Amino acid sequence: MSDLICIDLFSGAGGLSEGLELAGFHSLYASEIVPVYAKTYQQNHPETLTDVRDIRSVDPAEIRERIGICVGDLDLVAGGPPCQGFSINAPVRSNEDPRNHLFRDFLRFVEEFKPKAVLIENVPGLVSFEHGGTLHAIIDSLAQLGYGADVHILGAPYYGVPQMRWRTIVMALRGSVIPQSAWPEPVRHAPLRANFATKFDGHNIVKTPSPETSAPFTTLSEAIGDLPPLRNGERGDEIKPYAMEPTCDYQRRLRVGSAGVINHEAGRLSAINMERLKYIKQGDNWTAIPHDLLPKGMQRARRTDHTKRYGRTPWGEIASTVLTKCDPHWGAYFHPEQDRAYTVREAARIQSFPDHYVFCGAQAEQYAQVGNAVPPMLAEAVGNSLRAVLEGH
C-alpha cells in the first residue's frame, strides 16, 4: 500500500485520520482546538504534529514549513470544518457568523498547500441548508482555487459500520473534475431510510447498494457481543479481559493490536431510569414504560414520536446513531441484555474504532469524542477509493 500524506483539520479525536491511515494516508498535522480531543488524537497518532491553537490564528505557511512539505506535494487536505455559516452569496450579516470564518480557514490551508485532493465531511443537512446555497458556495470556492468538486451522501452501514449514520462527503481534485469512482461503492445492504434532502442540483447524491450487493449489515451483537459484562455503575479494572473468543470478522478486526478492553466502565443510571428499564425488552422504547414513570414532557408525547428514546436495540439489528452522550433519554442506549447504558468502548465499537484506540479525559468527554467522530471504517472506505483515483491520476 502506498504511503500518501495528508493533514486533518478540525480533527476531533481522530476518527477520520484513523480510517485514512488504514487506507494508506499518513497524517502529518492535525488541528483541534478542544484540548482533551487533541490529547486523544496525540495519544493515538503520536507521529502527527497535533496543534491545539485556534485555527484562525495559525499561519498555514508556517505549518507547511514545519512539516517540510513543498507547495503541491501534499496528497490531501481533509477535515470536518463547520460549513453551515459559509455562503459567498449570503447577506453581510453572515460574515459575522464564526462558522463562516472557520470554513474560510480550511480554505486558507488548501490555498497554501495546494494539495492533490480535498476531502470535507459534514452532516447530511448541509445539502439542504440555505436551499443548497452553502454547498454551492463550497464547491464554487474550491473551483476558484483550481479544484473540481462534487458531493455524495454515504450511509455508514453500507460499509460495515454497525450504526444508523449518514455523512455528506465533498471531494475535489486539483486541476480536474473528481471522478465518480472517488466515492466508494456500498458493499453491504442495510435497512436505511433517508430523512433528509437526497438531491442536489436535481441529481440523487445518496450512494445506495446495487441489487447484487448481498453481504448483510453488521449487527449490534457482532459489534459488542464479545465485551465483558458489567453492572450499572461498575468500573472494574482499567484493562479487562474479553468475555469470549471473537465470534465474527468484525470483532477480530477491531481486536487487532489490543491487549484487552479499555474505556469500558458503566456509568451509573439514576434510580428512576433503572426503574424504567425494568419494563423495556429488546425492541421496546419509552412507550413500554408506565405513564407515571415517564418524564413529564414525555407524558404528553404522542406514542409515534421519539421512537428511539429509552430504547433497547435487539442484538440482530443495527445500532442507533451514537450521539455525544449515551443518555437513554435521547436514544436507544440501553444495553440489549445488561441493565445499564452503553459504555464508551461499546459506543466506540459501534462507531468502528479499534479496541486499541484510547479515549482521554472524563467519561462524559470520552462519550462526546466518540459521538462527534467520523466512523473509521467509513473513512477507510472513502480513503481507499480516493487513493485509487490519486494513484491513477
What does the buried/exposed string (b/e) look like for 77-95 if buried means 16 or more CB atoms within 10 Å of the residue's CB? bbbbbbbbbbbbebeeebe
Q: How far apart are the first and last CA of the chain?
A: 16
- The whole-angstrom distance between residue 74's C-alpha and the CA centroid of its chain comes to 24
Give the C-alpha separation, 140 to 149, whole Å.
8
- The CA distance from 80 to 347, in Å, is 20
The CA distance from 313 to 333, in Å, is 8
Q: Buried b vs exposed e over 98-116: b needs ≥16 C-beta within 10 Å?
A: eebebbbbbbbbbebbbbb
Question: What are the distances in angstroms from CA 322 to CA 9, 118, 155, 264, 382?
Answer: 22, 26, 14, 16, 20
- Strand segments (E) across the chain: 4-9, 25-31, 49-51, 76-79, 117-122, 147-155, 166-174, 199-200, 203-204
Q: 15 near 351, Cβ under 8 Å?
A: yes
What DSSP letter does each residue of 226-282 carry, written as one string? TSPP--TT----SSB--SSS--SHHHHHHHTT-SSB-S-------HHHHHHHTT--T
Residues near 294 by beta carbon (within 8 Å), at least 6 away in sequence: 276, 286
Q: Could you tell me which residues are beta bridge partners of residue 29?
A: 7, 49
Strand partners, 204: 199
d(CA 129, CA 97): 15
Which member of 6, 83, 326, 360 is catalytic?
Answer: 83
- 326 catalytic per annotation: no
Residue type at 310?
Y
Tell me if 7 sits within 8 A of 28, measured CB to CB: yes
6 to 28, 117, 137, 239: CA distances (angstroms) = 6, 9, 24, 33
β-bridge mates for residue 30, sequence order: 8, 50
Supply the residues annotated as catalytic: 83
